[in-house]
């Protein structure tokens, strides 16, 4: 008599009972990881890197002896470019939002350029989003590989249990155990594929992050050189000095 399986277990056995299914799914995980790298590189990483370098070149090409004054005088052009989309028409959200944050804190110092209380690195703090996305998917693929492995083991155990329950001799039991081991061993390929793809994604993410950091470092230094940095502490100190000078002047008149 063959043991009956509940609907859920029956579906798991039907979907993951074959050894070839695990190999197909392991290959699918690998193809997905490679496709994800290619898609992200074309749609996100490369356009972002080009936009950072384009903005850097724009700031580096400002005319005039004083870069701060050139930035102040040509601010309308710079603002239009920094607030717009890239050459391909796609919006670089991290750059545009970072510029909106940076721009909101620019103060006109009465014809002597701009003053700000924020550094460029603080305003543009999400430029490594492509690397973060790959690292997130690296964790997901490991989990997917493990889930498929566990489902395959459940299917193998269920098939073996059903075979043992319906068998009438030691040979039937031995055959069921051999089938269990064969199927279970094959299912571990999905976990191996998930871990392998996770390593690949993290390595690529590391290289991408280093490239973005290298490009943004030059961009940040150039942008900060176009304005005067005035942190809140310095503003408070200048106000205190002004009050002391005012107090001294009033005291001298009295």
The DSSP result for 31-94, as a single string, is HHHHHHHHHHIIIIIHHHHHHHHHHHHHHHT--SS-HHHHHHHTHHHHHHHHHS--TTS---HH
DSSP secondary-structure letter at 241? H
pLDDT tens for residues 1-45?
445 556 666 666 666 666 677 788 889 999 999 999 999 999 889
Do the Cβ atoms of 140 and 132 come closer than 8 Å? no
Confidence band of 220 (pLDDT split at 50, 70, 90): very high
Do the Cβ atoms of 163 and 172 come closer than 8 Å? yes
pLDDT tens for residues 225-254?
888 887 655 555 555 555 555 566 665 554
Tell which residue, 80, 119, 132, has the closest CA to residue 227: 119
Confidence band of 180 (pLDDT split at 50, 70, 90): low
> Cα–Cα distances in Å, from 110 out to 32, 72, 194?
56, 11, 59
pLDDT tens for residues 95-138?
888 998 998 888 887 767 888 888 888 889 888 889 999 999 99
With pLDDT > 90 as the criterion, what percentage of the chain qualifies?
A: 26
Q: Note the helical H segments in the chain.
A: 7-16, 19-40, 46-60, 67-73, 75-83, 93-104, 120-123, 129-166, 170-224, 232-253
pTM greater than the 0.85 cutoff: no
């Amino acid at each position: 008599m063959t043991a009956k399986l509940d609907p859920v277990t029956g579906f798991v056995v039907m979907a993951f009972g074959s050894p070839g299914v695990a190999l197909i799914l392991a290959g699918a995980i690998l193809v997905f990881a490679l496709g994800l790298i290619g898609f992200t590189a074309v749609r996100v990483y490369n356009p972002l890197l080009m936009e950072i370098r384009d903005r850097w070149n724009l700031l580096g090409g400002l005319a005039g002896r004083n870069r701060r004054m050139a930035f102040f005088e040509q601010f309308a052009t710079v603002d239009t470019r920094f607030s717009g989309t890239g050459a391909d028409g796609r919006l670089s959200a991290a750059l545009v939002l970072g510029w909106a944050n940076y721009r909101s804190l620019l103060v006109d110092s009465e014809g002597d350029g701009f003053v700000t209380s924020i550094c460029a690195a603080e305003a543009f703090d999400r430029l490594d989003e492509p690397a973060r996305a790959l690292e997130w998917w690296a964790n997901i693929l490991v989990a997917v590989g493990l889930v498929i492995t566990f489902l395959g083991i459940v299917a193998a155990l269920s098939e073996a249990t059903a075979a043992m329950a319906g068998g009438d001799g030691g040979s039937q039991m031995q055959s069921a155990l051999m089938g269990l081991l064969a199927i279970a061993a094959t299912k571990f390929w999905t976990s191996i594929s998930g871990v392998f793809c996770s390593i690949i994604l993290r390595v690529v993410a590391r290289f991408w992050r280093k490239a973005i950091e290298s490009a943004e470092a030059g961009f940040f230094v150039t942008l900060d050189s176009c304005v005067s940095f005035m942190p809140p502490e310095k503003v408070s100190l200048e106000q205190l000095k002004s009050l002391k000078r005012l107090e001294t002047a009033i005291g001298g008149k009295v």
